[in-house]
Amino acid sequence: MEESEPQLIEAVERNELDSSLRVLKDITAGTCGGIAQVLVGQPFDTAKVRLQSAAPGTYSGALDVAKKLIANEGPLAFYKGTLTPLVGVGACVSMQFGVFEGTKRYFARQNKKNGLAPDLSYGQFYLAGSIAGIANTLLATPIEHVRIRLQTQTSTTPPQFKGPVDVIKQLTKHNGIAGVFRGFTPTLIREAHGLGIYFLAYEYLVKRDAKANSITRTEIPGWRLCIYGGGAGYAMWLTSYPIDVVKSRMQTDAIDRAGRTFANTIDCTKQTFRSFGIKGFFRGFVPTMLRAAPVNASTFYAFELAMRAMG
């Protein structure tokens, strides 16, 4: 026993080091994916938010948004509020991938402990993605709220906000910290279900490819990873888009509580349906779907490349 104890201690220390290094790699690769996501997706997201939050008749569609943005505010208007998501989405995506990968490893250990194959079931992939979404909600809600406030400013009126910090100051001034977290409930629903579907779809496609071609995950060509990432993006938005509309409408409502149109998530949902019918929950859907493929392809591709580079 005396001879085996040092070996046991070394093994435990090595496992702890490997585990910590694994988490760091997940977070780093997730950050790379987040940066790629923002740079590719910000123009599409700006068009989506303008369509979701504008008064009826303001825009005829995504193309009309693009024309008016360029004509009235210039091409750089597509990147309004980019600083916040560039920092924030990097953090969000690193959170998503970090929690997802960590939860995957936990489920694999539990499967092995229970005498099962370590491979995760599709239900476990969905649950791991949902857990990642729940964790990410704490970051996503304030980050998206600040970004949306900046994205919906136009140059035809005096700017209400000077920048991200000013948005936060004004939100907290009127409503305290709760003002920054306006839209938390619909964001939680969107993230929990949306990321569950998102990661499930991607893992399904990757596993099917590896099995069909008798290769490992790291041998899958980059162009196919891009296709699978795009497919995961479509799966997520097709199943969670209506709640995103509710979130955006709540986050573009009046800052002052007394002037708000929507009391809460349920009230916003009811008013959206009364005003626009079912179509109201799909405003801005076209630019979102156009955005889904390139944005999520770049996100997963950047993540996978970073993971391969780090070993």
Look up residue 113 and give its two tokens. 């402990």
Q: Indicate if the pLDDT at residue 7 is higher than 70.
A: no
Q: Indicate if the pLDDT at residue 14 is higher than 50.
A: no
Considering the four listed CATH numbers 3.40.50.1360, 3.50.50.100, 3.40.50.1820, 1.50.40.10, the one that applies to the domain covering 4-310 is: 1.50.40.10
Mean pLDDT throughout 279-307? 91
More confident residue, 229 or 89: 229
Q: Indicate if the pLDDT at residue 189 is higher than 90.
A: yes
Produce one character per residue of 264-275: b if its CB has 16 or more CB atoms within 10 Å, e if not: ebeebbebbeee
Mean pLDDT throughout 215-223? 93
How far apart (Å, rounded) are the C-alpha atoms in residues 45 and 233? 14
pLDDT confidence band for 34 (50 / 70 / 90): confident
- Res 9: pLDDT: 40
pLDDT confidence band for 13 (50 / 70 / 90): very low
Closest among 206, 214, 213 to 232, alpha carbons compared: 206
How far apart (Å, rounded) are the C-alpha atoms in residues 258 and 172? 15
- Res 235: pLDDT: 97
- Res 311: pLDDT: 73
How far apart (Å, rounded) are the C-alpha atoms in residues 54 and 47? 11
Produce one character per residue of 205-232: b if its CB has 16 or more CB atoms within 10 Å, e if not: bbeebeeeeeeeeeebeeeebbbbbbbb
Mean pLDDT throughout 26-54? 82
Mean pLDDT throughout 115-125? 92
**Alpha-carbon dihedral angle through residues 276, 282, 287, 288, given to the nearest 10 degrees:** 150
pLDDT single digits (tens) 232-258: 999 999 999 999 999 999 999 999 888
Q: Indicate if the pLDDT at residue 275 is higher than 70.
A: yes
Q: Give the global pTM.
A: 0.80
Q: 265 in helix, strand or coil? A: helix
pLDDT single digits (tens) 133-174: 999 999 999 989 998 898 788 765 677 888 889 999 999 999
Start-to-end CA distance of the chain, whole Å, equals 35
- Res 157: pLDDT: 65
Closest among 135, 142, 147, 148 to 178, alpha carbons compared: 142
Q: Are 180 and 172 in contact (CB under 8 A)?
A: yes
